Amino acid sequence: MAEKENILMQRYEMGKLLGKGSFAKVYHARNVKTSQSVAIKVIDKDKILKCGLMDQIIREISVMKLVKHPNIVQLYEVMATKTKIYFVIEYVKGGELFNKVQRGRLKEDVARTYFQQLISAVDFCHNRQVYHRDLKPENLLLDGSHNLKISDFGLSALSDCKRKDGLLRTICGTPAYVAPEIISRKGYDGAKADIWACGVILFVLLAGYLPFQDKNLMDMYKKICKAELKWPSWFSSDVRKLLWRILHPNPNRRISIEEIMKHPWFRIGLDARLSDSTMNTTRDAMPIDVDLALDSLNSNIVECNSAAEKLTNLNAFDIISLSNGFDLSGIFENNSNKEESKFTSTNTTSTIVTKLMEVAKGLGLKVIKKNGGLLQMEVSKPRIKGVMSINAEIFQITPNFHLVEIKKTNGDSLEYQNFMNQGMRPALKDIVWAWLGE
């Protein structure tokens, strides 16, 4: 009986758990007919619907059906039950490129090879009017032959997402890799934003750390907008020149992918097959038919009741992605910080603001300034280290998903901790989905 329950829809033998997030678990599996190894992403429908992310899932499937490239993780099949959605995808056993970088910076030749493969795949996507919008080492996987594979298209945009001016508006991505024009909220070119992220990735591969780094999120955004770069001594002159052009804060002056591929540093040791396939993508590019992609998706969804529904019981916190595609935890400062607390909420901005003001009043705080998603509060009586002041700032991830950052701006750290643990945290339980770090 146990063996039958381990077979998903009479097609795949489920294996070990590879990873998990708030909405999904990813398993290793084997096709019972062909013995091919695959990865199966098991998505919880109810949680996706609750957070208003079903359109995002449909978009991810549509995009993955359109981008067939040696350096992109392939989607083989989509199935569904009443409570679960199953992505059957290519199994990439080498893990994340991020894990490789964590062990130290890469040699220039190795970094260049990965960058060449990344640019080839991104160019392929752009020629099909697909923009990834969350490129980072965590979303770049390595196969058994150490070839790079782009994964997690959950935040990608299709051409139909553009406004009449040809620009995208949705603010998304991982902050450390986000382009300045996205932060400015004035609309952005998806291709230019992806190119910026590729530049950040190249810097990380060569340096072993991020080019724009700060414990404070807003200070990091300021550095990004100014493109404040400090070059490590081991960076060659050619790679510096290339990165200057990629990480230009003005998207209109930023280098294009075509120019990157012609750059002397990029072309060193370029695999002839990679070069040919990259050039072919331009000639083969075709306009996207989103309706056709969705029709194809619908024809491949299988509705059935299966014992495999017992496989998942999700509870972990990971923000949006199905396999860390939008995991913000890595870019926020260590949650052991005694002067900051962060939580996520599925309530609207107005509901969160109202609740914060209600809690502040109940705890004897007065709101001294309210500006959009920022509240400045302070205690009415000075303490040993002066008046304790607190800022609460709300960041919108999706219309129904928010990150709230509470930070002490003045006063005693121990007093702040006691205030949070004994007063603020219990009082906010009605709107908190999860506290970061828990």
Measured CA angle at 192 (ends 186, 198), to 5 deg: 125
44 is a catalytic site residue:
no
Is 41 among the annotated ligand-binding positions?
yes
The strand order across the sheet containing 401-410 reads 365-371, 374-379, 389-398, 401-410, 340-345, 434-435
Q: At what angle do helices 190-207 and 108-127 cross, to 10 degrees?
A: 170
**Choosing from 44, 134, 152, 318, which is the catalytic residue?**
134
Q: Considering just the CA atoms, what is the radius of gyration of the chain in Å?
A: 23
Q: Which residues are annotated as a binding site?
A: 41
Q: Which residues are annotated as a binding site for ATP?
A: 41
Residues taking part in catalysis: 134
